[in-house]
Amino acid sequence: MSLRFSIKWENLDKYRRYLATAMPRAFEESVFEALDKTADDARDRAKKLVPIDTGSLQKSIRKEKRAMPAGNIIYTGIRAGGYIVNPKTRRLVDYAIPVEYGSSRNRPQPYMRPAMKWASRKTKGYFWTALSRRVNVE
């Protein structure tokens, strides 16, 4: 069991059409760079916020990115759980969701949602910085 959060930019059609016709490569590269930096920030923040017992859940937090073929959705996110083995239980980390949302035995200890919310505030700035750098260079 793993927990996944992502940033999805949707309904960019008006801006995308304008910018994509004016500077298609710069626009696409800037979007990917902004989302990549945002995911890095979110991953780092989640690693700071996650409650630590053995450190396995913290080690399992990682970044994922991919472009959806639909055209106007770019997926970049962070994920927790899965491939790391907890040294106490000798099982894969499968408790990312119960830690984030709580369970009948434990209170919620959110770490992914606050990290994504915090990091997503920077996305627009990252995008415009990347785009302006590419437009000035080209």
Give pLDDT tens digits for 27-76.
888 888 888 899 999 999 999 999 998 899 999 999 887 666 665 666 77
79-125 pLDDT, tens digit per residue, is: 898 888 888 888 888 889 999 999 999 999 999 999 999 998 998 99
pLDDT at 111: 94
pLDDT over 90 at 16, yes or no: no
- For residue 15, the model assigns a pLDDT of 66
Q: In 3-state terms, what secondary structure has residue 103? A: coil
Q: How far is CA 121 from CA 7, 114, 125, 130, in A?
A: 11, 11, 8, 16
Confidence at residue 86, expressed as pLDDT on a 0 to 100 scale:
85
pLDDT of res. 109: 94
pLDDT at 137: 45
Residue found by looking up tokens 């937090």 in the block? 61
CA distances from 37 to 55, 57, 79, 86, 97 (A): 24, 22, 15, 29, 24
pLDDT at residue 28, as a whole number? 80
Residues pairing with 64 in the sheet: 77
- pLDDT value at position 25? 76
Domain count, the chain: 1
* pLDDT band for position 138 (cuts 50, 70, 90): very low
69 lies in which domain range? 3-137
